[in-house]
Amino acid sequence: MKDLLTDSAARSTRYLAGIRDRRVAPSPEDIARLEVLGGPLPRSVSDPAHILALLDEIGSPATVATTGGRYFGFVIGGALPASLAANWLAGAWDQNGALTVMSPVAAKVEEIVLSWVLELLGLPASCAGGFVTGTTMANFTALAACRNALLERFGWNVEEDGLFGAPPIKVVVGEEAHVSLLKALSLLGLGRSRVISVPTDKQGRIRPEALPVLDDRTLVCIQAGNVNSGAFDPAQQICTRAREAGAWVHVDGAFGLWAAVSPRYAELVDGFSLADSWAIDCHKWLNVPYDSGMAIVRKAQHLRDAMSLNAAYLPASNLREPCHYTPEASRRARGIELWAALRSLGREGLRDLIERNCHQARVCAQRFRGAGFEVLNDVVLNQVLVSFGRAEETRRVIAEVQNDGTCWCGGTQWRGHTAMRISFSSWATTDEDVERSLEAVLRIASTCKLATT
């Protein structure tokens, strides 16, 4: 075991040491070599050292260097040193995070992290929270609590009796709601399409004057941080109206809610603390290893009612038992890396990380504008949408940038335009990475332009 883990650590550190010098996306040849990992299932036992070597030799070159500094696709963070190191130790611990009796350390660390996160986000200390795999599951988990709460008002126990014959719930979403929110609604039997979709403005923000009549059996879903533009719904207005009507407000705050940590950007999250539930990601801007997110619910009982499980062989306890707050029972102790990330960054380190990425986004937007390209969004946070002309020109630049390997940016459609999406979410992105990436994208864009003129 010792030699094997030493070898694993050496290979991992070698991988990370080379991350800045390699292509961001793997080459087609490296991807093709993954076939070597297949073949028939071996009949007999193999030496773990050979297995590790094979995985490293074939697998490492076929990774995407998301943990380096020049990956700007989707919304993807890296892994902070403290959180990665904690992840290795937690792997060795191999704790089951379901119950305190299974892992006192996992249970305690979750409690600590929950209180720190609530403080950072400016949410009441009495909120409950579940540690899940990401925002998709955080949306699902928090919305299950909402479903419980709204139907309970009408004497309906949805956990016991299901949804058949239940009083209807009105679900309101912005037309720019993230697909994962719609997926969560579908998993909960509330329906992806059975929603009232509210028009948004040109940044993707809900137009509050277009909200339907709200009442005490309405769920309103808003977002902090549009996945493309980074825009925030006007929470203050929406939450005030929802409160007056007795409606439940849920916030998909995957990456955007972390703006609360920076005094410079806190204005963006004005009013979001008035909501009833929140979903956040930790593997994005908090930069912990996958997979990690949190569902937060104002009234703890609603989350517990929706998620708790009891059986004679599960010990009764007065403690906060993690499995009463998540869909899973057995799971990895993902709070450990969160604890390490927050303990190592502190409030100031996290603020610096957020502000650095936002600054990089602004610099990037200025450079594109300066080079004559159109930036399609107001760069309020960490997201930049840029057009390189006609749709096929933009698509060509994106393909060439991905092929070039200096950095990685994806594409999207934004209000009728084809755009390159550039997301700054990694602790590892230095200003030099930004310069090197901009130089590559602008070089490719001008070559593509020359080729089409």
Ligand X SMILES: Cc1ncc(COP(=O)(O)O)c(C=O)c1O
CA atoms lying within 13 Å on the CB side of residue 325:
28
- Strands 410-414 and 417-423 turn out to be antiparallel
Number of residues assigned to the chain: 453
Kindly state the smallest distance separating residue 119's Cβ from ligand X, in Å.
22
Contact call for residue 288 and ligand X (CB under 6 A): no
Spatial contact of 370 and 380, defined as CB atoms under 8 Å apart: no
Kindly state the smallest distance separating residue 224's Cβ from ligand X, in Å.
8
Q: Could you give the angle at which helices 335-370 and 431-452 cross, rounded to 10 degrees?
A: 40
**Six token digits for residue 130:** 């579940």
Range 43-82, binding ligand X (CB under 6 A): 74-75
Residue count, binding to ligand X (CB under 6 A): 15
Kindly state the smallest distance separating residue 131's Cβ from ligand X, in Å.
13
Within 10 Å of residue 295's Cβ, how many Cβ atoms? 30
- Sign, CA dihedral 412-415-417-423, equals negative
Range 368-427, binding ligand X (CB under 6 A): none
Range 167-196, binding ligand X (CB under 6 A): 178, 180
Kindly state the smallest distance separating residue 179's Cβ from ligand X, in Å.
8
Among 204, 225, 230, 411, binds ligand X (CB under 6 A): 225
Kindly state the smallest distance separating residue 312's Cβ from ligand X, in Å.
34
Contact call for residue 135 and ligand X (CB under 6 A): yes
Who's near 59: CB < 8 A, 6+ residues apart?
34, 37
- Strands 374-375 and 410-414 turn out to be unpaired
Of the candidate spans 37-45, 128-136, 365-373, 374-382, the one that interacts with ligand X by CB under 6 A turns out to be 128-136
**Six token digits for residue 396:** 């060509």
Q: List C-alpha distances in Å: 65 to 21, 25, 222, 338.
A: 10, 6, 32, 22
Contact call for residue 254 and ligand X (CB under 6 A): yes
Q: List C-alpha distances in Å: 142 to 188, 189, 302, 318.
A: 11, 14, 9, 23
In this complex, which beta carbon is closest to ligand X, that of residue 135 or of residue 287? 135
| Per-residue binder mask for ligand X (CB under 6 A), 80-109, x = binder | ------------------------------
Kindly state the smallest distance separating residue 78's Cβ from ligand X, in Å.
15
CA atoms lying within 13 Å on the CB side of residue 141:
31
Among 110, 233, 252, 433, binds ligand X (CB under 6 A): 252
In this complex, which beta carbon is closest to ligand X, that of residue 100 or of residue 273? 273
Kindly state the smallest distance separating residue 290's Cβ from ligand X, in Å.
9
CB burial of residue 138 (10 Å; 0-12, 13-18, 19+): buried
In this complex, which beta carbon is closest to ligand X, that of residue 100 or of residue 133? 133
In this complex, which beta carbon is closest to ligand X, that of residue 260 or of residue 438? 260
Kindly state the smallest distance separating residue 198's Cβ from ligand X, in Å.
16
Contact residues toward ligand X (CB under 6 A) are 74-75, 134-136, 178, 180, 223, 225, 227, 252, 254-255, 281, 293
